[in-house]
Amino acid sequence: MISDPFTYLGDLLREVLVGLGLTTGQAAALIQFLGAGALATAVLLLTFLLIWAERKILARIQDRLGPNRVGPYGLLQTIADAAKLLTKEVIVPDGADKLLYYLAPPLTVMSVVGLWAVIPLAPNLIGSDINVAVIYLISIGAIGTLGIMLAGWSSNNKYALLGAFRSVAMLISYEVPMVLALLVPTMLAGSMGMVAIVESQRSMWFVVLAPLAALLFFTSSMAEAGKAPFDLLEAESEIVAGYNIEYSSMAFGMFFVGEFLHGFTLAALTVTLFFGGWLGPGVHTYTWLGLIYLLLKTAVVYFVVVWVRGTLPRLRIDQVNAFNWKFLVPLALVVVVVTAVADKLATSVGWGRTPAMLVANGLVFLGTLVVMQRYGRAQRLKYEGRAAMAPEPAGAPRP
């Protein structure tokens, strides 16, 4: 009970269900169903704390206090906001496709909650240990993109449709470097299962072996979550809040929940894939420590997500797409190829894997700096040439 409470409670519940007359298969299916419901409920309830924490952190970054009126330290402010949304009327615009209109918000939330099904929370504590979990992450994440497209299409609003088109273009674009970055931990672990990826980091975290891949995955995941500076999904000054402009009450609140929860989810995925997940001292003696380690690591990465949001300004749509296709995608391709070659050489020649990977990532990093320097110099010379060829304004004093 003390060393492995998760297995103990599962076996106890199975014995109780079998004692009530259920077969072993029926008891196992019911336990899986109850576990899925408990995990989804815990993740959704976590959103209340995440919203409060993000508002508090952003307030401190901007020299404000944040929520401090409803409840101690403003802890009940999110509950008050949820109650306000629940009491508001759901106004459906004329000409809207009601089926798709009401289907879009649950799809957005489901795409985020569904990611937690394959995240190992601790030893012997995972929703579903499938051997193609990496592919599952990619496919289930695409459901959120579908929800955004349905929201903009079904609202019968040109601004919502324009916002959905722009959002989907950005989300699909940033899936390319994210998938390429996911190939790196898959190659290093030799498996696409999340449990196997975590177990493969016992000797060394993958963030040490592949820091560039970790940075690429983190950056592209922030764009997938719509976090600043990639928050073009809700650029109010340009497209009147984007694809969800025609939503009110809890229909809008579900988009809100999906956005905040996605930030914490991408932090959990980054920790699982590159920072050892639940690994830590004492885990094999007390398995519940794995859950504590995972939450602490995820909290640190989530703080970085909020920190970036409160620091960097929003980019333009052309800057976002240019950054992806001209920088992230080529860099991701180079990282994947160099990682594969370095890992193969390290195993075949007999070099240590860690120094080989560090040297390979260092060379790629230096090469990236050289390319960026030459590109910046070329752009500066181009603009200086244009300025020199520009005609002088009328009435300008001559030297």
Mean pLDDT of 295-309: 94
Three-class SS state of 66: coil
Q: What is the dihedral of CA 300, 306, 312, 313, to 10 degrees?
A: 170
End-to-end CA distance of the chain: 87
- pLDDT above 80: residue 359: yes
Question: For the segment 96-118, what is each residue's pLDDT rounded down to a tens digit?
Answer: 889 999 999 999 899 999 999 99
Max Cα-Cα span within the chain: 100
Domain spans of the chain, in order of start: 88-328
Residues 123, 280 contacting (CB under 8 angstroms): no
Distances in whole angstroms, Cα of residue 383 to Cα of each of 28, 279, 380 = 67, 51, 5
User: What confidence category does residue 394 fall into, taking pLDDT thresholds of 50, 70 and 90?
Assistant: low
C-alpha–C-alpha distance, residues 383 and 375, integer Å: 12
Question: For the segment 44-90, what is each residue's pLDDT rounded down to a tens digit?
Answer: 999 999 999 999 999 999 899 999 999 898 999 999 998 998 898 88
C-alpha–C-alpha distance, residues 19 and 249, integer Å: 45
Q: What per-residue confidence (pLDDT) applies to 56?
A: 94
Residues 52, 65 contacting (CB under 8 angstroms): no
- pLDDT above 60: residue 24: yes
pTM of the model: 0.91
Q: Residue 162 corresponds to which amino acid? A: L
- pLDDT above 90: residue 141: no
Q: What per-residue confidence (pLDDT) applies to 337?
A: 95
Residues 86, 248 contacting (CB under 8 angstroms): no
Query: How many CA atoms lie within 13 Å of 309's alpha carbon, on the beta-carbon side?
Result: 24
Mean pLDDT of 226-235: 76
Long-range Cβ contact pairs of 371-376 (< 8 A, separation 24 or more): none
Q: What per-residue confidence (pLDDT) applies to 390?
A: 65
Q: Which residue has the tokens 């289907």?
A: 103
Q: What per-residue confidence (pLDDT) applies to 237?
A: 58
Q: What per-residue confidence (pLDDT) applies to 315?
A: 82
